[in-house]
Structure 1
Amino acid sequence: MRAFLTHAHPATFTTLRPDGTPHVTPVRFTFDAGAGLARVTTRAGARKARNVLAAGPAARVALCQADGFRWITLEGRAAVTDDAARVAEAVRRYTVRYRTPPPAPPDLVVIEIALDRVLHLDLPEPKAM
């Protein structure tokens, strides 16, 4: 499972709009097994960031990475931060995974997802996160 999450595949990122309808967008993300976090960098004004902010501490999101019929979905509570150290760590991890830095708009933020559920198909059973 962890090896699959190091491959440079994009994922779909699902948030909920304030009216409760899903917003799904392709993203690149990083997985930090030690911290139990997934991270998505984006602009502060992006719909996905605004959806997480609007939901507040109850914001739940899902990331789904697929390769053919192999897939993994990571779910958890999300928060948006512009903390310089957290953004820098997200950029560092993104650069390692995708071998190029992410876009760097002036309003760059990171959505941190505290993972609490993992679903998958055709991958080994996950060990404790």
Structure 2
Amino acid sequence: MSRATVELPAATKAFLTRPHTATLTTLRSDGTPHVTPVRFTFDVATGLVWVATRAGAHKARNVAAGGSAARVALCQADGFRWVTLEGGAAVTGDPARLAEAVRRYTVRYRTAPPAPLDLVVVEIAVDRVLSLNL
């Protein structure tokens, strides 16, 4: 998966550090959207979003089934302010990437994420950012 760096205004960066929940939209095999609430972290320097989840979760299975063409959208909203991060996605169980995702999640949400035995990370290489009122 290629990593794209995106330029974000300071207000958008600050908004994305707040401990809000977002929605993650993946595509089912029939092309219909699957939308689920998630907690996530975003590394502005690399343009990567991490969503920790179970390997058996629909979102992880949808991304894995999409292969190298998998694309997702993650949207964080607060009232009439919102940011959508779009990009290519992949699922990884790499221990170093899992550890980094868990570390960032713990810092952002001040609690560790759930730790199921099949914990994986959906990584999103952000290449498009849409926002309103930021």
Bin for the TM-score computed over the shorter chain: over 0.9
Instruction: Name structure 1 gaps, 5 residues minimum.
Output: 124-129
**What amino acid does structure 1 have at the position aligned with 2:72?**
V
**CA–CA distance in structure 1, aligned partners of residues 124 and 108 of structure 2:** 17
**CA–CA distance in structure 2, aligned partners of residues 35 and 91 of structure 1:** 17
Task: Determine the structure 2 residue equivalent to 1:34.
Answer: 45
Task: Determine the structure 2 residue equivalent to 1:69.
Answer: 80
Return the TM-score normalized by structure 1: 0.95
Structure 1 SS opposite 2:13: coil
Aligned-CA RMSD value: 0.3
**CA–CA distance in structure 1, aligned partners of residues 68 and 107 of structure 2:** 29
Task: Determine the structure 2 residue equivalent to 1:83.
Answer: 94
Identity among equivalent pairs (%): 77
Task: Tell me whether 1:23 sits opposite 2:34 in the alignment.
Answer: yes
Task: Tell me whether 1:56 sits opposite 2:67 in the alignment.
Answer: yes
**CA–CA distance in structure 2, aligned partners of residues 58 and 64 of structure 1:** 20
1:22 CA displacement: 0.2
Task: Tell me whether 1:111 sits opposite 2:91 in the alignment.
Answer: no
1:42 CA displacement: 0.1
Task: Tell me whether 1:6 sits opposite 2:44 in the alignment.
Answer: no
**CA–CA distance in structure 1, aligned partners of residues 24 and 105 of structure 2:** 16
How many residues align structurally?
A: 123
Structure 1 SS opposite 2:122: strand
Return the TM-score normalized by structure 2: 0.91
**What amino acid does structure 1 have at the position aligned with 2:52?**
T
Structure 2 SS opposite 1:18: coil
**CA–CA distance in structure 2, aligned partners of residues 8 and 86 of structure 1:** 21
**What amino acid does structure 2 have at the position aligned with 1:66?**
A
Per-residue CA deviations over 1:27-74 (Å, capped at 9, x if unaligned) read 000000011101100000000000000000000000000000000000
